[in-house]
Amino acid sequence: MKHRIVVLGAGYAGAFSAGFLARQLHTDDVEITVVNAEPDFVERLRLHQLAAGHELPHRPLTEIFAGTGIRLRVARVVELDVDRRRVTLDDGGRLGYDTLLYALGSTVADHGVPGVADHTYNVAGRPSALRLRARLRALGSDGDVLVVGGNLTAIEAATEIAEAHPDLRVTLATSGEVGGWLGPKARKHLLRAFDRLGITVHENTTIERVEPSAACAADDTVFGSDATVWAAGFAVHPIAAASGLAVRPNGQITADRELRSVSHPNVFVAGDSAFVIGGNGQPLPMSCASAGFTGQQATATIIGELTGRPVKRTSLSYVGNHVSLGRADAIFQFVDGDARAKPGALCGRPAVWVKSAIVGTSGWAISRPTFGRLDHHYRTRADAGSPGVVAA
């Protein structure tokens, strides 16, 4: 029997990892199945652009995986049974596996705030970004938009909307300081950009309730809003915790340095769902950069275990934050070995070029998973194909 590898999720971590495994492992020995809720690869880093009205490249997963031997299953995961090695899907299907790569990513964290699920928009997924896009278009040239959060996603959403819809009144409310982790040069540039785009900022303001046309803060301030964009952090899907995998309090899967689940050695994890200690001794943050590093390490470990080759250790480092401020402005904040902001930063056009290069390269690489080298395959060990429980 072929060794069955199932990859859950085809975002930055999952799509890259599946393609790399297909490129390296021989199709006579392994069967790779990718499960994803959407038929396309979604560039999550650019969803704030989609919400603001810009078009993004169409990247169907069937085209990305064409010729690789990868089987694509467009469905949502509803249950993971790690003891029986079985994945249950919302279309009624079940998949058995020998090796699982969990890369389901993250979604918006509502922090238990009433009204978030019913009355807000977000840019954590393509369907939600398209809903926000439709709402902004419906507002036309008059309306109030409230962005809740002070992190990278909130900053990018607020500046992109303000630039693309200059007639709308954009306000940002955050429980701390907007961009408070930035160095002095970068934060000064950020605040100048907010002034240039006419964004009103309310810091140290915690939103405690969201209503259909307003958001209420802990200090009793009420923000009228025709569209409330919730960008107050990320949470991982509860499927991992429910499966019996060892997880952190926030639901991330606890992994060792090789991105193997500490409780189930045939389960690997990559992307936002992974809790792993980086090279600086700190947990890797949820980010696109972390998706790349964890995906590289997880696939290196899987290939090593199946083929008997030495497992290459990839860098688990974090070099900085890049944040766009509309289409013509950006910041790249450098960090030190402890992930603290350095005084220096790239601002303006140079930072735009850096971010464009990073995003463009990521999309290009994922769209070409084999890089034209499908004949570069490693054979698996004779004892690597021990079958798991076949899904009933």
Please tell me whether residues 135 and 184 are part of one structural domain: yes
Confidence of residue 389 (pLDDT cuts 50, 70, 90): very low
Locate all alpha helices (DSSP H) within 44-148, ordered by sequence: 47-52, 61-64, 116-119, 126-139
Please give the tally of structural domains in the chain: 2
Region 155-184 average pLDDT: 96
Instruction: Please report the pLDDT score of residue 319 as a whole number.
Output: 75
Range of the domain at 75: 3-105+237-318
Residues 145 and 213 reside in one and the same domain: yes
121 and 225 inside one domain: yes
CATH number of the domain that residue 140 is part of = 3.50.50.60
340 lies in a domain? no
Q: Which of 169, 196, 230 is the last residue of a domain?
A: 230
Query: 183-186: which pairs have CB atoms within 8 A and are 24 or more residues apart?
Result: 183/333, 183/334, 183/341, 183/342, 183/343, 183/344, 183/345, 184/343, 185/343, 185/344, 185/345, 185/347, 186/331, 186/333, 186/341, 186/345, 186/347
DSSP state of 312: P
| Cβ contact 240:80 at 8 Å | yes
Residue 381 lies inside a defined structural domain of this protein: no
Same domain, 171 and 152: yes
Rounded Cα distance, 223 and 148, in Å:
11
pLDDT, residue 391, reads 44
Amino acid 388: pLDDT:
46
**Residue 333 domain-assigned?**
no
* Residue 357 lies inside a defined structural domain of this protein: no
Buried b vs exposed e over 37-70: b needs ≥16 C-beta within 10 Å? beebbbbbbbbbbbbbeeeeeebebeebbeebbb
Average pLDDT over residues 359-378: 76
Inside any domain, residue 352: no
Confidence bin at 375 (pLDDT 50/70/90): low
Q: Is residue 339 part of a domain?
A: no
380 touches 303 (CB < 8 A): no
One domain, residues 44 and 99: yes
Q: Which of 164, 198, 230 is the last residue of a domain?
A: 230
Task: State how far the Cα of 255 lies from the Cα of 253, in Å rounded to an integer.
Answer: 6
Distance CA 369, CA 34 (A): 13
What would the pLDDT profile of 244-273 be if each residue is shown by its tens digit? 999 999 999 999 999 999 999 999 999 999
pLDDT tens digits, one per residue of 112-167:
999 999 999 999 999 999 999 999 999 998 999 999 999 999 999 999 999 999 99
pTM over 0.85: yes
